[in-house]
Amino acid sequence: MVVSMTGRGHHHHHHHHHGERMDTALEGSAAGLRTLWFSFAVLAATTVVQAVIAALSGSVALLGDTVHNATDALTALPLALAFLLGRRAATRRYTYGYGRAEDLAGVFVVLVIAASAAFAGYEAVRRLLDPQEVSHLPAVAAAGLVGFLGNEWVARARIRTGRAIGSAALVADGLHARTDGFTSLAVLLGAGGAALGRRWADPLVGLAITGAILLVLRGAAREVWHRLMDAVDPELVDRAEHVLGHVDGVRGVGAVRMRWLGHALRAETSVVVDPALTVVQAHAVAVAAEHALLHEVPRLAGVTVHVDHAHPAGGDPHEALAHHFPAAAQGS
């Protein structure tokens, strides 16, 4: 928290319940890591089962699905590294810590989803032009079902944990697992079509699944893009403004800005107080404002509060800064 009186000339730093905020962030990282290791184990087992059946049956569709699942399992590694990096303390070079590593991992996941869509589409077109005979159809169908169930299990775990801790990268990786589940389902449906003598069924279903993957890619890319561009849910801003407006001593609320750093929120705002207050009293109002926000805004790990005083005479306490920061002249 920063308390700054007229012209922002006086700053005072206050760390409120810093240990509790760090505990919350560490708990989020620990939950993310547990989910990643769980999903890695499930998908690794699924990949081994499918690889054995793919080798026995000669199913190109199942081979492609096995590659997808192996890739999805491996995406847990950069995400796990990002969570571990995010737990490191801030330094004089990385003054906000390493939370952005999650966003970079999210970009990697989006690229992997795009590659999966391209691979699935290529294989579908290739099989449509040159249909392949597939043996051991019951085993292939069973492997496809195993792949679908394993991926959907992992997808639900990743998306649930990602939303609970506020990790866009983990949500995107959950969506990626769901796309691979769709691909596994295509193997199952394709095997059913082959059993009926419809060799074109497998590649046609593959093309449909490619379209589904592209839709999921769009959602995952939008999620990660919002994080990279510091977007937040507008309801969080509305909530913060409402909370600040009910803090004793706050006469007005300026702009509220928020951004995600990994799976933790940071915020900065300004409040207007009575000009007759002493610095100590104004500081107390700022502390109360920070305290209220930390309690009422989920995943909030840090707040910067700037204090302005009311100026009934019409003077602007930020006039000296107007040519540097036009918004400052408006009391932001």
Task: Name the token pair of 134.
Answer: 């597939």
Buried b (16+ CB within 10 A) or exposed e, 297-310: bebbbbbbbbbbbe
Alpha-helical (H) ranges within 196-231 are 201-228
Tell whether the model's pLDDT for residue 331 goes beyond 50.
no
Residue 13: the pLDDT is 42
Task: Name the token pair of 220.
Answer: 């995952």
- Segment 122-151 shows an average pLDDT of 80
Tell whether the model's pLDDT for residue 9 goes beyond 90.
no
Which stretch, 47-56, 68-77, 147-156, 202-211, has highest mean pLDDT? 147-156
Please tell me the least confidently modeled range out of 159-168, 241-250, 270-279: 159-168
Residue 257: the pLDDT is 95
Tell whether the model's pLDDT for residue 129 goes beyond 50.
yes
- Segment 170-197 shows an average pLDDT of 79
What pTM, to 2 d.p., does this model score?
A: 0.73
Domains of the chain: 27-228 (1.20.1510.10), 232-330 (3.30.70.1350)
Evaluate the CA torsion angle 120, 126, 127, 128 in order and state its sign: positive
Please tell me the least confidently modeled range out of 21-35, 46-60, 114-128: 21-35
**Which DSSP symbol is given to 6?**
G
**Which DSSP symbol is given to 90?**
P
Alpha carbon distance 163, 2 (integer Å): 30
239: which residues sit within 8 A by CB, 6+ positions away? 296, 297
Query: For residue 16, what pLDDT band results from cuts at 50, 70 and 90?
Result: very low
Alpha carbon distance 284, 301 (integer Å): 20
Instruction: Pick the more confident residue, 9 or 229.
Output: 229
The H or E element containing residue 235 is helix 234-245
Query: For residue 295, what pLDDT band results from cuts at 50, 70 and 90?
Result: very high
Percent of the residues in the chain that have a pLDDT greater than 70, as a whole number: 84
Output the average pLDDT for the chain: 81
328: which residues sit within 8 A by CB, 6+ positions away? 8, 318, 321, 322
- Per the CB < 8 A criterion, the answer to whether 262 and 101 are in contact is yes
* Phi, psi of 10, rounded to the nearest 5 degrees: -125, 125
Residue 315: the pLDDT is 63
206: which residues sit within 8 A by CB, 6+ positions away? 61, 120, 121, 123, 124, 127, 183, 186, 190
Alpha carbon distance 74, 69 (integer Å): 9
